[in-house]
Amino acid sequence: MIAVTTPLFKPGRVLATPGAIEALERSGQSVWHFLIRHLAGDWGVVDTDDKAANDDALRDGSRILSAYVLDGDGDGDEATKIWLLTEAADESGNRVATTALLPEEY
């Protein structure tokens, strides 16, 4: 487990789509594991441009997107990717929500 003593940002309300919940249950993993990574600035498997955009978002308040690969469910299928998307900050600097979702649910 990754311990976060001081998150880089506040996630707001933590939500998950039905598809993400199902995929997490199938993998035996918890959304909290990925949320901790997200809050620590471990953006997962996003590309270089998205990593840079996330780093900028810590300063300018724009949206933050992380992507992680879930453990397989043992049936030989391709690994499932899950996204964590934190909304842009409002005028007061507050982020309303972070949502766990599958890419196809975006």
Residue 6 lies in a domain: no
DSSP state of 70: P
pLDDT of residue 83: 98
Q: Give pLDDT tens digits for 54-103.
A: 999 999 999 999 999 999 755 556 789 999 999 999 999 999 999 999 99
Q: How far is CA 63 from the centre of its chain?
A: 11
- pLDDT, one tens digit per residue, over 42-65 is 999 999 999 999 999 999 999 999
**Interatomic CA distance for residues 41 and 51, integer angstroms:** 9
The pLDDT of residue 72: 77
Domain count, the chain: 1
In a domain, 89, yes or no: yes
- Whether residue 1 lies inside any domain: the answer is no
Range of the domain at 62: 13-72+79-105
Nearest-angstrom CA–CA distance, 84 and 102? 9
pTM of the predicted model, to two decimals?
0.90
| Alpha helices per DSSP H over 28-70 | 31-39, 48-60
Category of 18 on φ-ψ map: left (φ > 0), alpha (ψ -120 to 50) or beta:
alpha
